[in-house]
Chain A
Amino acid sequence: MTTLASPSAQTPSALATSDQATSTQAPPTMPQPHPSSANTLAHPGRAGTLAQIGLLIQWQARRAGDMLPFAFIMQIVMAVATIFGFGLLIGDPPAMAARHLATGATTVTLIMLGLVLAPQITAQSKTEGSFDWLRTLPVPRWVFMVADLSLWTLIALPGAAIGALLGAWHFNVSLSVSPWIVVAVPLVALISATVGFSMALLLKPAMAQLMTQFIVFIVLLFSPISFPAANLPGWLAEVHQWLPFQPMAEMIRATLMSDEFSMPLRSVIVLVVWTVLAVVGATRALSQRN
């Protein structure tokens, strides 16, 4: 077969000659080879870390293009459902309960996105094969994580803001927003997404999906986010001393109603420990070889 670029038939000197050789072999309908720049590409430079983060965010955002509007809407619906749903269950709440309900929606939307959507997207990319291919790119593992987490945090922000405003209006409470809100909201989203991301990486996809269902149940009904921890049985309140949900709710409450709530030091420490564990777990999982 002479029309293929046989090594024995091809003049092996410069690319221009090579192109010429192959183009003369090709049928007339074939496109003429573009003047190749491949010789300048065998040793490409290395994109800067910030540039790589930006490019990966761009890749993931475009890949998630169809889903992004849906994710935004779901975040808002989740916030609305939390506020009105608990309102229906509880009726006309006393002042302290109203403050928890008003700020709880913001925390719930941030947690849901990180702990539910992030593992679902990651599990899907593992199943469809793009996860392994992405891992062959010359990008440090932590850059993948930062890019994904940044995207998910951005998705979480509108729902969180609407949740706070709607909660305050519905339960007739006043917000006293601290400047620390700009740290607290991304931090809670980040920690949730890191834990969710680690879960998706460490568990098999089907297991990760089941785990997310379980977490939704626990977060909505059995976590002291939209109600005080004192409402829980003693043993469950003790368990929540070590889980990240209560400290996340405390952080959001302390920044949305800074006149009335503060963040206990113990909760800060618990959150830091969870972040470190999740980041280490995710990094190890991303670096794992079969």
Chain B
Amino acid sequence: MNSTATATRQDVLTTPASAPISTTAHRDVLAVHQLCKRFGTGETAVQANDHIDLTVRSGEIVCLLGHNGAGKSTLVNQVVGLTLPDSGTVNLSGVDAVADPATARTLASVQAQSNVPITGLTPRQAIELVGRIRGLPKKAAQTRAAELLTNLDLTAWADKSSEKVSGGVARLTAFAMAAVAPGTLVVLDEPTNDVDPVRRRLLWQEMRRVADSGAGVLVVTHNVHEAEKVVDYVVLLDEGRVVTRGTPTDLVTNNPGETLEDVYITLVGEQASASAE
């Protein structure tokens, strides 16, 4: 692990929870500024993202929370170059990801919201192949795949045909495909879906390891309870806008409720009621 990342991670974790997370040594791997995206026209148009600002630093896990349709996946798709923003900027480790999505793709690895079918492949083969496509030498890809399979407790399924594995194992395999050669940013869209509680714990631990290795992690999840214990920073979206942001501790301290889930329900519930009126 590089010494800068170690030092900055230490800074973040030893800083009082209420203090700003930013340090000058912490490298921004993702900076989203005033991002807007609208789908459709006229009365049926949906403002999926409305002037969103977001930063992910190396060594940091940033969690995007929000209802279905809050604009989380739209935001993620703009970061990885699948969707073109209407306005705003996406800067990925110094690269303008809107103008140069090809270079941005070399910097970010992605776990998509829906499972990537790997019919015909075993989990190990899929992880290794993606590692090699992302630029790892063969031996390194094999070593890294074995490491991920062990850490996620997938060795029993590692060499089974993907048709014979459960949805949860397929989901973890998709996570491993994103984590095998993580680049500077790892984007995970609902990685815990279908995963059993024991392996969800292993998944969060592995996510932390990826961040500790120097990458930034942007994770979209509905698993608020578990995310609260692991992530460094939370951005709460509703109807395309950022409702609130902060460390989990900050959010719980500064809002009514005892847990992040309480805060989520209070804030997003209020927003939803207001918009309904």
Contacts and interface: CB of A to CB of B under 8 A. Distances in A.
Contacts of A66: 119-120
Given A44-B134, A47-B135, A59-B129, 7 more contacts: A29-B198, A31-B202, A34-B146, A36-B147, A63-B119, A130-B117, A138-B134
A1 B202 CA distance: 14
A38 B11 CA distance: 21
B229 A1 contact: yes
B230 A289 contact: no
Contact of A12 (B109, B119, B212, B226): B212
A15 interface: yes
A137 B1 contact: no
B162 to A, nearest CB: 10
Contacts of A128: 117
Interface of B: 1-2, 6, 9-10, 12-14, 17, 61, 77, 80-84, 101-102, 105-106, 108-110, 112, 114-121, 125, 129-137, 140, 143-144, 146-148, 150-151, 153, 155, 179-184, 198, 201-202, 204-205, 207-210, 212-215, 225-226, 229-232, 249
6 closest Cβ pairs, A-B complex? A38-B213, A65-B120, A34-B147, A289-B84, A44-B135, A138-B106
Interface string A71-94: 000000000000000000000000
Interface in A98-139: 128-130, 132-133, 135-139
Given A5-B208, A66-B120, A129-B114, A14 B213 contact: no
A10 interface: yes
A58 B215 CA distance: 29
Given A133-B116, A138-B106, A289-B83, A44 B136 contact: yes
B229 A4 contact: yes
A47 B181 CA distance: 12
B120 A41 contact: no
B155 to A, nearest CB: 8
Contacts of B204: 4-5
A158 B181 CA distance: 38
A90 B122 CA distance: 50
17 contacts: A5-B207, A7-B230, A8-B13, A12-B13, A34-B147, A38-B212, A39-B213, A46-B135, A47-B132, A47-B134, A62-B121, A137-B105, A137-B133, A138-B105, A138-B106, A139-B133, A290-B82
B135 A36 contact: no
Interface in A30-77: 30-47, 51-52, 55-56, 58-59, 62-66
B258 to A, nearest CB: 14
A137 B107 CA distance: 10
Contacts of A136: 80-82, 105, 108-110, 112
A39 B180 CA distance: 11
Nearest to A19: B209
Contacts of A132: 82, 112
A22 interface: yes
B105 A4 contact: no
Nearest to B107: A138
A129 B140 contact: no
B206 to A, nearest CB: 8
A40 B140 contact: yes
